[in-house]
Amino acid sequence: MCGIVGYIGRQDAAPVVLEGLTRLEHRGYDSAGVAVLGGRGLRVAKQAGRVRELTDVLPKRFAGTTAIGHTRWATHGPATDANAHPHVDETGRVAVVHNGIIDNSAALRAQLTDAGVTLASDTDTEVVAHLVARSEADTLEGKVRDALRVVVGTYGLAVLHADFPDRIVVARNGSPLVVGVGDKEMYVASDLAALVRHTTTVAMLDDGEMATVTASGFSTMRHTDLSSTGKTATQVDIDAAAYEAGDHESYMRKEILEQPTTAQAVLRGRLDERFGTAHLGGLEMDARDLRAVRRVKILGCGSAYYVGQMGAGLIEELARIPADAEAASEFRYRDPVIEPDTLYVAVSQSGETIDTLLAVQEVRRKGGRCVGLVNVVGSAIARECDGGIYLHAGPEVAVASTKALTNMFLGFALLALQLGRVRDLSIADGKRLVAGLERLPGQIEEILAGEADLVEVAKELAEARSLFFIGRVRGFPVAREGAQKFKEISYRHAEAYPTSELKHGPLALIDPEVPTVALVPRDELTERNIGALHEIDARHGPLVVITHDEVDLGAIGARRIDVPRNEPELDPILLTIPLQLLAYHAAQHLGHDIDKPRNLAKSVTVE
Ligand code: AGP
């Protein structure tokens, strides 16, 4: 989604900002722009298209040591040059870049028009530039404060003003903003990924906070009254190389292949072989708190929601507590009943998904306890929760989430184990599951080693316009996640169904042109699953079956992909790995931009 980068220091600022913007490209965008403050005052270059295309057409005299830049993902108005950020006021002295949505922009646009202002774009953001310019405050901070007083919505924004050339002012409400500290130079960005090559000394703004950033330092204050919040920078433990694709042809492929290692990272130090349980200190819940939980409600969006469904299944099976998952994007709008003895669990890779964040806030506003399963340390959701489990998957850049989702599943397995062991889960079962979790990273490696066998299958699936993914009980969320991954990057219509529901409708669509990817693990439902395969086979529907080698498919004509068996409760994540590879190779066969699928953004920070 939209990205912000700013620089103030001694270097020529535009190249620094443009390079930073390329680091945010995978978040998804359709236009780019940069504003520079230099000897010639404030200058702006912006257009629809890629950062590289903007760099190629940058005006010759575009020098200056202060700049802000933006990648836009269209919300208000199409992807045009005029709608690209930065937006400027009528005098050309103020430039603004903005992530988020200004909810009352229509009213503010009307007020500005009535006051004689000619608006140059369709965007919500442009109003901020005019409001800053029209404020009578005598400092830039005062002008920004005045503008924000009338703005309702979410924002991470950065402002340049030709009358205050020694500073960038930034503000946050709901969209992330980070200030990076260099040597007599400073950076701002909406994501650490844009900064880590320059500095790992950073300060993350909180909602309601503003910062003045000059070449020599920064100071933070509240939006409302400009009183100091006294924030200082801290060192983040991030390796800049983790953000690079290295020799891999795409980030997605790199992230798929990293899973044996990243899966170990989420388990490290959390398994207790002796007592067959898990230790999750970050939850900040003792055995008494855990025993008091009567219900678990998991909240996430997209694939995080589907893994949440896998997690709910694990919790019900191991802890025998009623558990379910709900799309956070729906939950927050339906005035949910928040129960004191329900444990709410927010699950998110980025920790910035606005729907999940607002769902957490809804839970907490009504007195509920919400813990997080989050990958990005210090992100908004992680900070908003009462405690949680960090996923330790490392930076995930590709829009299609893989390694973070695997670690979400493992995070849920740890939580289910701990909840189970303070209840009726026996020590023998606890030890069985601990041993199963310890085997998992090696089994993921085994599946990845068989990648070559999947390529032809993926190519065949890529040729279909429409596909089904089916699974039953533990396998249904796996099917949902498989269909999601496939449609995200191959742009094929892929629909997930519970296997048991096939005959209640979708069987009508089965024919030789519509393949089905079926999840058939060796478990208590194998025979019933095979029955459904017969029904598909009888209608000449092509079948790809992800299964275990002990499963006998008899005379069914199917392409089979065998995965190693673990414990039945943990098998879903092993069944998921081939689905990542199928999606990846189908998209590659179709020649799509795998890391930057059309219309999608890595983290969805607008409602
Ligand atoms: C996953 O492949 C998707 N890109 C998407 O559904 C994602 O899982 C969802 O937007 C939630 O993101 P989060 O984990 O960062 O909250």
- Which distant-in-sequence residues (6+ apart) come within 8 Å of 476 by Cβ? 309, 496, 498, 499
Task: Using the mean position of ligand 1's atoms as its centre, give its distance from the Cα of residue 84 in Å.
Answer: 25
Atom of ligand 1 nearest to the CA of 404: 14
Ligand 1, atom 10, residue with closest C-alpha:
302
Distance separating alpha carbons of residues 425 and 227, to the nearest angstrom: 53
Confidence at residue 240, expressed as pLDDT on a 0 to 100 scale:
78
The helix (run of H) or strand (run of E) holding residue 88 is strand 87-88
pTM of the model: 0.84
Ligand 1 contacts CB of residue 349 (under 6 A): yes
Give pLDDT, residue 74. Answer: 84
Q: Of the residues 143, 254, 487, 602, which is catalytic?
A: 602
DSSP H/E element including 266: helix 259-267
Give the model's pLDDT for residue 605.
72
Atom of ligand 1 nearest to the CA of 601: 4
Q: Is 602 a catalytic residue?
A: yes
Of all protein residues, the one whose alpha carbon is nearest to atom 5 of ligand 1 is 302
Evaluate: CB of 301 within 6 angstroms of ligand 1. yes
Q: Can you tell me which atom of ligand 1 is nearest the CA of 302?
A: 6
Instruction: Give 462-471 pLDDT, tens digit per residue.
Output: 999 999 999 9
Q: Which two tokens stand for residue 178?
A: 């980070």
Question: What's residue 310's pLDDT?
Answer: 98
**Do 400 and 594 meet the contact criterion of CB atoms below 8 Å apart?**
yes
The candidate with the shortest Cα–Cα distance to 190, out of 99, 76, 68, 101, is 99
CA distances in angstroms from 106 to 50, 97, 102, 150, listed in the order given? 28, 18, 9, 12
Report pLDDT digits (tens) over 159-200.
999 999 999 999 999 888 999 999 999 999 998 889 989 999
Determine phi and psi for 498, rounding to 5 degrees: -65, 135
Report whether residue 262 contacts ligand 1, using a CB cutoff of 6 Å: no
Using 70 as the pLDDT threshold, list the residues of the chain that sit under it: 1
Confirm or reject: Cβ of 400 under 6 Å from ligand 1.
yes
Whether residue 401 has its Cβ less than 6 Å from ligand 1: yes
Residue nearest to atom 6 of ligand 1 (CA): 302
Q: Is 360 in the pocket of ligand 1 (CB under 6 A)?
A: no
2 has catalytic annotation? yes
CA of residue 565 to ligand 1 center, whole Å? 27
Burial of residue 274, with CB atoms counted within 10 A of its CB: 0-12 exposed, 13-18 middle, 19 or more buried: exposed
Q: Which of 2, 301, 370, 385 is catalytic?
A: 2
DSSP-assigned beta bridge partners for residue 87: 96
355 close to ligand 1 (CB < 6 Angstrom) = no
